[in-house]
A and B are shown apart, each in its own frame.
Chain A
Amino acid sequence: ETGVTQSPTHLIKTRGQQVTLRCSSQSGHNTVSWYQQALGQGPQFIFQYYREEENGRGNFPPRFSGLQFPNYSSELNVNALELDDSALYLCASSSRPFAGGLETQYFGPGTRLLVL
């Protein structure tokens, strides 16, 4: 069983640029959720994708967007980067979305983004 993987591990961008982060879900999982974890804080829910459709979104602006592919891997895109976007970005996969009941999410190791 392959775990959740994310790439890249670290990334440095400048303000105004765009970034794409990638997540490969665990084998057999069709749901991916993305979180932003600022330094010293708990993760904040960005959005969830279930079977290639967005299935819930937290309080993040539209410049945060995502995709899920037929193999259930996912991308997080952030446009017009701001300094406050510097954070650890976590993805988590599961075999059902939040509304599907008690389901364990498996987290990836994260991508550390620094915006200068």
Chain B
Amino acid sequence: AQTVTQSQPEMSVQEAETVTLSCTYDTSESDYYLFWYKQPPSRQMILVIRQEAYKQQNATENRFSVNFQKAAKSFSLKISDSQLGDAAMYFCAYRSPRDMRFGAGTRLTVKP
């Protein structure tokens, strides 16, 4: 079964600094996608960034980028120039053609 592991229950970053959230996954499939979602205290889940497993180039969305290491099954999220509005729960997710799995989440605190 596919599993997604986020080893950092909580992380903290100073405003304007950079933080990296870790995620590893386990799968035997070749066709899959990886995602990072943000869930603010209002609880509506929002897509942050996504990556196709067959693409070697790391995805980037403005201040958010990923480090995708397919062989190591690692998919970390880097947030640059952190802002107060980045404070939330961040979930790493794995999606295959018939299933979707989320990690347990990392709570990110941004200090002013």
Contacts and interface: CB of A to CB of B under 8 A. Distances in A.
A20 B95 CA distance: 27
B21 to A, nearest CB: 13
Query: Is chain B's interface secondary structure helix, strand, loop, or mixed overall?
Result: strand
Interface string B36-59: 000000111111001010000000
Given A42-B104, A99-B98, A105 B44 contact: no
Interface in B94-112: 95-105
A109 B44 contact: yes
A41 B97 contact: no
Interface string A79-112: 0000000001010100000110010110111100
Interface residues on B, range: 20 to 34
B91 A98 contact: no
A90 B99 contact: no
B45 A104 contact: no
Contacts of B46: 107
Interface of B: 4, 6, 33, 42-47, 50, 52, 91, 93, 95-105
Please give me the 4 A-B residue pairs with the lowest Cβ-Cβ distance, nearest first.
A42-B102, A99-B97, A107-B45, A56-B98
